[in-house]
Amino acid sequence: MANVTDLQTKYSKLAQEYSKLRAQNQVLKKAVVDEQASSASLKEQLKQRDQSLRKQEQEMDSLSFRNQQLAKRVELLQEELAASEAKGKKGKTKGDSPSQHGQQTQSVFDEDLQKKIEENERLHIQFYEADEQHKRQEAELRAQLDELEKDSEQHQAVVDGLTTKYMATIERLQSDKARLEVKAQTLEREAKECRMRTDECQQQLRQCQSELNKQVKQSSSVIQEKVPFNDTSEYHLNKNYLQFSLWIQLKARDVAGQALSFIQDLIAALLNFHSYTEQRVHIYPRDSSIEPISPLNQKFSQYLHENAAYVRPLEDSFLQLHQSITEDTVTVLETVVKLKSFADNFCSYTHFLQKILPYHLEEECEASLCTAALTVKNQELQTDMKRVTSVFEKLQNYINLLALPSMFSFHSTSAVFTQLAACLHSLHDAIKEMSKHYNQKAGLEKELPTITQKLSTTTECLLGSLGSLTSSTGKIATFFSNNLDFFTSSGYSPRGSTVTLNPLQAETMLANKKKAAAYIHPRPQSVPHREALSNRRILTSSTESREGLTQQVQQSQEKIARLEQEKEHWLLEAQLGKVRLEKENQRIGDLEAQLAAALGGSPNSQPAATSTLAQSHEEAEAEPKAAVKETTLCTSLVGMLCTTPTIEHVGDEESREQLIKTHYMTRVGELTTQLQISDSKSVHFHSECRALAKRLAIAEKSRETLSEEVKMANQNITRLQDELTTTKRSYEDQLSMMSDHLCSMNETLTKQREEIDTLKLGNKGNAKKNKGR
**Three-state DSSP class for residue 296:** helix
The string of pLDDT tens digits covering residues 422-456 is 999 999 999 999 999 889 888 888 887 777 888 88
The string of pLDDT tens digits covering residues 673-709 is 888 787 777 777 777 787 788 888 888 888 888 888 8
325-336: average pLDDT: 74
pLDDT band (50, 70, 90) for residue 295: confident
Cβ proximity of 332 and 501 under 8 Å:
yes
> Domain ranges in the chain?
243-491
For Cα atoms 332, 493, 409, give the angle at the middle one, nearest 5 degrees: 55
Residue 507 in this model has a pLDDT that exceeds 90 = no
What are the φ/ψ torsions at residue 331 (nearest 5 degrees)? -105, 105
CA atoms within 13 A on the CB side of 399: 24
> Residue type for 149, please?
E
The Cα–Cα gap between 70 and 77 comes to 10
Residue count of the chain, please give it. Answer: 773
What are the φ/ψ torsions at residue 641 (nearest 5 degrees)? -135, 125
Cβ proximity of 15 and 722 under 8 Å:
no
The string of pLDDT tens digits covering residues 274-285 is 898 888 888 877
- Which class for 468: exposed (0-12), middle (13-18), buried (19 or more C-beta within 10 A)? middle
CA atoms within 13 A on the CB side of 529: 13
The Cα–Cα gap between 530 and 540 comes to 16
The string of pLDDT tens digits covering residues 89-143 is 665 555 545 555 566 667 777 777 788 788 888 888 888 888 888 888 888 888 8
pLDDT at 633: 44
Residue 13 in this model has a pLDDT that exceeds 70 = yes
| Rounded-to-5 percentages of helix, strand, coil across the chain | 85, 0, 15
pLDDT at 631: 41
The Cα–Cα gap between 663 and 620 comes to 12
| 183 CB-near residues (< 8 Å, 6+ apart) | 3, 717
334-348, 375-389, 643-657 — which is least confidently predicted? 643-657
The string of pLDDT tens digits covering residues 386-436 is 999 999 999 999 888 888 765 444 556 788 889 999 999 999 999 999 999
Residue 470 in this model has a pLDDT that exceeds 90 = yes
Of residues 532 and 403, more confidence is placed in: 403
Q: What is the mean pLDDT of the chain?
A: 76
The Cα–Cα gap between 212 and 225 comes to 20
The Cα–Cα gap between 51 and 697 comes to 40
Residue 329 in this model has a pLDDT that exceeds 80 = no
Cβ proximity of 459 and 280 under 8 Å:
yes
The Cα–Cα gap between 150 and 148 comes to 5
Q: Measured between alpha carbons, how far apart are the two ends of the chain, in Å?
A: 82
pLDDT at 615: 42
Residue 750 in this model has a pLDDT that exceeds 90 = no
Of residues 28 and 633, more confidence is placed in: 28
The Cα–Cα gap between 536 and 251 comes to 14
- Which class for 494: exposed (0-12), middle (13-18), buried (19 or more C-beta within 10 A)? middle
379-390: average pLDDT: 90
Cβ proximity of 693 and 32 under 8 Å:
yes
Model pTM above 0.75? no
| 702 CB-near residues (< 8 Å, 6+ apart) | 170, 580, 584
Element (H, E) at 493: none
- Which class for 302: exposed (0-12), middle (13-18), buried (19 or more C-beta within 10 A)? exposed
pLDDT at 505: 62
Residue 612 in this model has a pLDDT that exceeds 70 = no
pLDDT at 236: 42
Residue 348 in this model has a pLDDT that exceeds 90 = yes
Whose CA is closest to 506, among 243, 309, 132?
A: 243
194-221: average pLDDT: 83
192-196: average pLDDT: 85
